[in-house]
Amino acid sequence: MTVAIRSGRSPGRIALDRLRRDPAALFGGSIVALFVAVALAAPLLTAISGWDTQTFDKSAIDRSLGGVPYETFSAEHWLGVEPGTGRDVFARVVYGARISLLISVAATAVTVVAGTAAGLLAGYAGGRTDTILSRLMDLVMSFPSLIFMLALLSVAPDANRVLLLIAIMSMFSWPYVARIVRGQALSIKHREFVEAARVGGASGAHLLFRELLPNLSGPVLVYVTLAIPANIGTEAALSFLGVGVRPPTPSWGQMLDDSLKWYQVVPSYFIVPSLCLFLTVLAFTLLGDALRDALDPREARS
């Protein structure tokens, strides 16, 4: 807060300035931006590469050996082809980025919004509201989520899979945010600066948005940076169990699961989606770290 007073700039502005000066943030940010751009420009990119996600290229695979690709990377198929079918890996990775990012980011967003709201309400309001919400959180968190996601997704096979996946993935993860937020809210509530603001006659809304929320952004951001990649992983697990997006729609999760069996024979097919996943996760984490540092009002670097 002292920083804000001294420079007279808004906290958001300060955060942005800080981010610009942080090489890790720039690195993470550019990778995230790159993947988002790739996802958005997928049709353009595949038009340039000349192969779409679905066409089988039988000339690229050796039928007699169970469909092993002849070449790893080539001018024809930039990232090689999928064993067995001969579908272009570049096209599938590029389109897969769309689905994987969409599902994981959307599920995280829903989770964070719902979780923060519930957690703040519980921690700040206390009393009976807290008890009820906490019990609800306990209840949802006690559900072995993978089993339930699987069961739920297989009961409703005909709905829009993407929306369904987002809904079900956030349904079981909001309490994790809520719990962190509640815990932080509880401990912050009794801190000097909040007490001071309250004694100073600040309104409830002011306390919530000006004092509590900014202080909560750190832990919540840590959660977000871990939740996006974790959700990509959940999407992968669900695809693996047969309740993910419908084939032939590609997603990184499906690719990773398909390629797992080929990791020795066609390592490139296994490494490409793994690397994409690794880079995305790394980038989000770097960005999130930097963002947290930048947003922290108590963080004084100079």
Partner 1 sequence: MAKKLGLLALAVLLGTTACGGASGPKKPAADVGAQPPVTEAGKGGTLTILSNQDFEHLDPARNWTMPQMDFGLRYLYRSLVTFKSEPGAASLEVVPDLATTTGEMADGGKTWTFTLKDGLKYEDGSPIKAADVKYNLERSFAPELPGGPNYHKLVLKDADAYKGPYKSGELASIETPDDKTIVFRLKRAVAEFPYYATLPSFSPVPKAKDTKEQYDNRVFSSGPYKIESYTRGKEMILVRNENWDPASDPARKALPDRIVVKQGLRQSVIDDRLIADQGEDQTAITYADVNGESFAKILNNPKVKARFHNEIRGCTDVLAMNTQKAPFDNAKFRFALQYAIDKEAYQTVKGGPAAGEIATAFLPPSLSGGVPQDTLKIPATGDVEKAKQLIAESGVSTPVKVKLHTSTGAKNEATALQESLKRVGVEVEINTYDPAVYYDTIGDTAKFEGMASYGWCQDYPSGSSFIPMMFDGRTITEKGNSGNVSLFKDQETMDKIDEIYAMTDLKAADQAWVQLDAALMQKAPMIPLTWERKPLLAGSKVAGAFGHLIWSGQFDYAALGVKQ
Partner 2 sequence: MIAYLGRRVLAVAGVLLVICAVTFIIFFVLPSDPALHACGKTCTTEQVDAVRAEMGLDRPVHEQFAGYVAKAFTGDLGYSYQNSLPVWDLLADRLPVSVSLALGAAVLWLSGGVLVGLVSALRRGTGLDRVLMAGTLASASVPVYFTAMMLLLVVVQHFELLPYPDYVAITEDPGAWAGNLLLPWLTLASLYAAMYARQTRSSMIETMGEPYIRTARAKGLPERTVVVKHGMRAGLTPIVTIFGMDLGGLLAGAVITEHVFGLPGIGQLTYDAIFKADQPVVLGVTLLAAFFITVANLVVDLVYAVIDPRVRYA
> Which residues form the interface with partner 1 (CB under 8 A)?
54-56, 58, 61-68, 83-86, 154, 157-158, 241-243, 246-248, 258, 261-262, 264-265
Which residue number, 235 or 258, has a Cβ lying nearer to partner 1? 258
Q: Return the closest-CA partner of residue 127 out of 175, 200, 189.
A: 189
- Contact range with partner 2 by CB under 8 A, out of 1-9, 35-43, 66-74, 282-290: 282-290
Residue written as tokens 């999760």? Answer: 253
Q: Which does 261 bind (CB under 5 to 8 A by kind): partner 1, partner 2, none?
A: partner 1
* 174 makes contact with partner 2 (CB under 8 A): no
- The token duo for 109 is 């967003």
Question: Concatenated DSSP letters for the chain?
Answer: -HHHHHH---HHHHHHHHHHH-HHHHHHHHHHHHHHHHHHTHHHHHHHH---SS---GGGEEGGGTSEES-SS-SSSTT-B-TTT--BHHHHHHHHHHHHHHHHHHHHHHHHHHHHHHHHIIIII-HHHHHHHHHHHHHHHHS-HHHHHHHHHHH-TTS-HHHHHHHHHHHTTHHHHHHHHHHHHHHHHTSHHHHHHHHTT--HHHIIIIIIHHHHHHHHHHHHHHHHHHHHHHHHHHHHTT-SSPTTS--HHHHHHHHHTTTTTSHHHHHHHHHHHHHHHHHHHHHHHHHHHHH-TT----
The nearest distance, CB 234 to partner 1, in angstroms, is: 17
* 179 makes contact with partner 2 (CB under 8 A): yes
Which residue number, 81 or 283, has a Cβ lying nearer to partner 1? 81
Which residue number, 56 or 148, has a Cβ lying nearer to partner 2? 148
* Site track 13-42 with partner 2 (rule: CB under 8 A), x = hit: ------------------------------
Which residue number, 6 or 246, has a Cβ lying nearer to partner 1? 246
Q: Which does 85 bind (CB under 5 to 8 A by kind): partner 2, partner 1, none?
A: partner 1
Q: Which does 201 bind (CB under 5 to 8 A by kind): partner 1, partner 2, none?
A: none
Single residue of 34, 36, 114, 141 touching partner 2 by CB under 8 A: 141
Task: Catalog residues that contact partner 2 under the rule CB under 8 A.
Answer: 126-127, 130-131, 135, 138-139, 141-144, 146-148, 150-152, 154-155, 176, 179-180, 183, 186-187, 190, 192, 218-219, 222, 226, 229, 233, 236-237, 241, 256-257, 260, 263-264, 270, 274, 277-279, 281-282, 285-286, 289, 292, 298
